[in-house]
Amino acid sequence: MKPETLTNKTIGLVLSGGGVKGMAHIGTLKALNQRDIYPDNISGVSAGALVGGLYADGSSTDDMLLFFKETPLLKYNFVTVNKPGLFDTDKYLPFFEDFFTAHHFGGLEKRLTVVATNLLKGKPKYFDEGELFTPLLASAALPPVFSPVNIDGQLYTDGGIMNNFPVGPLVDDCEIIFGCYASTMREVGKGQIKNALQISQRANLLMLHANARDKLCVPDLLFVPEELGGIGVLDKKGIDKAFVLGYDYANRKLDEWLQ
């Protein structure tokens, strides 16, 4: 692929879930932008929805990283006893107020599609208009850690349950599609599954990978950063590492592809 081939092309970017591993998406965006590649149309889920939302709102990669570093994940006073979930997702809204300029999809600089799971109907829901923050929160509300989000009387949770690689919304509208997949799958030893939390995390990862696997062939160029498997989904200490892994991997792949 020659760089000039991208001129005047509609470029799409699909971003998977992956929790803290999704910081690799920010590294991928930095590598793309450094080559004057600016996706027009983003489709994201969970951590990918948050990164895509920040990018569509005009945030720099530094500000994206700052958002994730300053937003608490497991804050003790966010614990809920009257909602299904360990932490009250609604209490994260003020952090969106601090970092986002747009409050509605229509105010974004880029087109954005966010997928969440309707728990009551058992169906994925694609949001691309109206209020912005609650769909973003819902898309990233990993059960059972975070409570579902109420939108128009329906309960929504992590979109990765139904679609962890939402490339579909881009297929008919984009001439070039890039994808970043951060829900890496690898074999683990018995000693790595010792408690209920580790069982839950492993089961979630298998579920996410199963519903994404058949879609990974759709993008023109797919980034699957290596070594992300060693980073915990909710381990904030891994933010910078995941970012660097994503950035370095995207640089290598883009240099090969653009030649």
Catalytic sites, residue numbers = 46, 158
Phi and psi, residue 189, nearest 5°? -85, 160
DSSP 173: T
**Alpha-carbon torsion, ordered 111, 221, 171, 233, to 10 deg:** -60
User: Of 43, 18, 12, whose CA–CA distance to 127 is shortest?
Assistant: 43
Pairing of strands 41-45, 111-118: parallel
H or E element in which residue 116 lies: strand 111-118
CA angle (164, 168, 171) in 5-degree steps: 140
CB atoms within 10 A of CB 71: 16
Structure tokens belonging to residue 146: 């975070």
Query: Distance between CA 26 and CA 180 in Å, rounded?
Result: 10
Nearest alpha carbon to residue 9 among 42, 31, 43, 40: 40
Residues 100, 53: Cα–Cα separation, whole Å = 9
Q: Return the bridge partners of 98, or none.
A: none
